[in-house]
Amino acid sequence: MFKEISQVLLQSQNVVILPHSSADGDCLGSAYALKLMLLQLGKTAVVLTDEDNPKICSLLFGAEEERPVVPDLAIAVDCGDLDRLGGRKGVFTSAPVTVNIDHHPTNTGFAAHNHVDSGEAATGQIIFELLEYMGLFLTKEIAADLYIAIASDTGRFSYSSVTPKTLTIAARLLEAGIDHVGINEVLFEKNPMSKILLMRDALNAFETYLDGKIALVSITREQVIASGANEEDAGGLILLPRSLETAVVAVSLRESVNKPLVKVSLRSNTVDVSGIARTFGGGGHVRASGCTIDGSIEAAKETLLAEIKKVMGCTE
Ligand SMILES: [Mn+2]
C-alpha cells in the first residue's frame, strides 16, 4: 500500500514538507521524521511551517537548518485539505509532484498521490509504517519525532483511536533509545505563564447547556493579547470543558487576534463532531474536529450551539 508513495519519494530530489497550519505535535513530528528519512535516502528535504518557529520545534530533531529549495516534490502531512496549508497553499500547488499523507477522515484527496488512512491514530503511525516499508533505519532522532507525533494525537496513548498496533509502534520507538520522559514533560506537563493565564480566563468563562451535556469555554481577543500567548499556547483549552463528567460535546471558542473570526474546537465521545465542523466549512475526526466562524464570539456561539443541539436531537 506504500508502493506508490515510496516510488514517488525515490524519484524525487528536492522535497518540501508542509505540516498543517496551527501546527501540532503530530504534523510536526511526522514532518521532521519524514525529512530525516529523506535525508537518509540522499535527498534534500526541508520542512516549511506556516508559523514562525513553533515552540515544539525545540523538541524535534531535524529542525535546525532550513535552506530554501526549488522543490520537485511537495508533501502535505496530517493536513485534511488545501486550505489548512494556509499561506503555503501556492508552494504546494505549484510543485510538479504532490503527495498527501494523512489520517483525517474528512481528507479531500487534494494531491496527485494520496495516502489517507483514517484508521491510524496519528499521521506519525503512517510515517513509521512507510519507514518500515522502505527499509529505512529507525534512528533515535526519527523515533523521537514519531513519538512526539503519536503521543500528541493520542493524548499520551489514552484515546479510543489507540490500537495494539499503536502500542507496538511505541515500543519500537522506545527500543530506539528515546527520552520519552523528557518529551512528555515538554509536551504535556510544563506550561508557559501565558497559557496558565488563558486557562484561568477560560475557566472564568466556563458555561454549560442542556444540563451539562454541552460544556463550553470561550476566550476573547483581548484576553489572548493580555496573556501574551501565541497561537500555539492558545491551543489545548478544549481539555477543560472536555473533562466535565457530564459533557457529551465539549466546545472551545477563541477569537483570532488578527482576523474577525472565531476558532472553534469540538470534542465528543459519542457525537460525530466532524459533521458539525463541516457545516461551518471545517473538518477533522469523528471525536475531535475544528472550524472557524466569521464574526463575533457571541454570534458564533449562538449559531454553533443551535447546530450542536440539532445534531444531538434537542430542540429548545
Ligand atoms: Mn494528526
Boundaries of every domain in the chain: 3-188, 193-311
Burial class (CB in 10 A: 0-12, 13-18, 19+), 27: buried
Query: Interior CA angle at 135 toward 128 and 49, to 5°?
Result: 45
Averaged pLDDT of the chain? 93
**Cα–Cα separations (whole angstroms), residue 9 to 14, 112, 141, 144, 214:** 10, 13, 20, 22, 45
Q: How far is the CA of 27 from the centre of ligand 1 (A)?
A: 6
Classify 3-188 by CATH class.
alpha beta
Helix (H) / strand (E) element for 209: namely strand 207-209
Helices (H) and strands (E) in the chain, counts: 13, 11
Q: Report the pLDDT value the prediction gives residue 59, as an integer from 0 to 100.
A: 82
Q: How far is the CA of 205 from the centre of ligand 1 (A)?
A: 28
Q: How far is the CA of 188 from the centre of ligand 1 (A)?
A: 16
Q: How far is the CA of 74 from the centre of ligand 1 (A)?
A: 18
Q: How far is the CA of 266 from the centre of ligand 1 (A)?
A: 15
Confidence check: pLDDT of 257 > 90 = no
Residues with CB under 5 A from ligand 1 (ion): 26, 78, 123, 153
| Least confident stretch, 25-34, 88-97, 141-150, 307-316 | 307-316
115, 5 Cβ separation under 8 angstroms: yes
Q: How far is the CA of 39 from the centre of ligand 1 (A)?
A: 23
What is the Cα–Cα distance from 92 to 199, expressed in whole angstroms?
35
Confidence check: pLDDT of 314 > 90 = no
Confidence check: pLDDT of 64 > 80 = no
**Cα–Cα separations (whole angstroms), residue 1 to 5, 108, 126, 151, 218:** 8, 19, 11, 24, 43
Q: How far is the CA of 32 from the centre of ligand 1 (A)?
A: 14
Confidence check: pLDDT of 315 > 90 = no
What is the Cα–Cα distance from 195 to 200, expressed in whole angstroms?
9
Q: How far is the CA of 142 from the centre of ligand 1 (A)?
A: 17
Q: How far is the CA of 122 from the centre of ligand 1 (A)?
A: 5
pLDDT, mean of residues 151-162: 94
Q: How far is the CA of 123 from the centre of ligand 1 (A)?
A: 5
CATH of 193-311, one of 3.30.360.10, 3.40.50.620, 3.30.470.10, 3.10.310.30: 3.10.310.30
Q: How far is the CA of 114 from the centre of ligand 1 (A)?
A: 15
pLDDT, mean of residues 209-229: 94
Q: Which residues contact 312 (CB under 8 A, 6 or more apart)?
A: 210, 213, 214, 248, 249, 271
Confidence check: pLDDT of 220 > 70 = yes
Q: How far is the CA of 281 from the centre of ligand 1 (A)?
A: 19
Confidence check: pLDDT of 161 > 80 = yes
